[in-house]
Amino acid sequence: MLQINIGRRVGVWVAALTLVAFAAPVALGHTSAAPKLVGSPTAGKTVFTSTCITCHMLKTVSSGGSIGPNLNKVTALDENTIIKALTCGGAAVMTKAAVAKYTTTMAAYAPPALTQTQITNLAAFIFSETHPKGAVPKAVVSKTLPKC
């Protein structure tokens, strides 16, 4: 009789823990287990070639400027960080020492300069071009632009 009661208690606890493990992320608004790119890299390339190429270089774009950082060398930025740089300006994600290397800083492209869709597409393009093929962001990418 004692073994049956202990067995039932263990079974109830296992069922409860399993329920919490699956229900908690949904209850907290985390419906996706794996982070993924937000935005279209293809559409972002169009924005890059019309807006960013004057100041930045990127290997998949035939030419580029040298006013801002060479994005081929900026491989550690996650998509959230790229979105923040685009929305709030480059200095928002750079150290003071890095900012001091340049004669100017990147302007903020928050709406109305670029739309939210253009910003997320551009960030997806830059992320996909500076990370190995098939790489995904390490953190879930916010679907809203950051406050500056």
CATH architecture assigned to 41-130: Orthogonal Bundle (1.10)
Task: Check: CB of residue 116 under 8 Å from CB of residue 135.
Answer: no
Query: To which residue do tokens 């890059």 refer?
Result: 48
For the stretch 44-72, pLDDT in tens is: 999 999 999 999 999 888 788 888 888 98
The model's pLDDT over 132-141, given as tens digits with 9 standing for 90+, comes to 988 888 889 9
**Domain-wise residue ranges, the chain:** 1-31, 41-130
Predicted model pTM: 0.74
Range 82-107 average pLDDT: 93
Helix-then-strand count for the chain, H and E: 5, 0
* Tokens at 37, concatenated: 């790119």
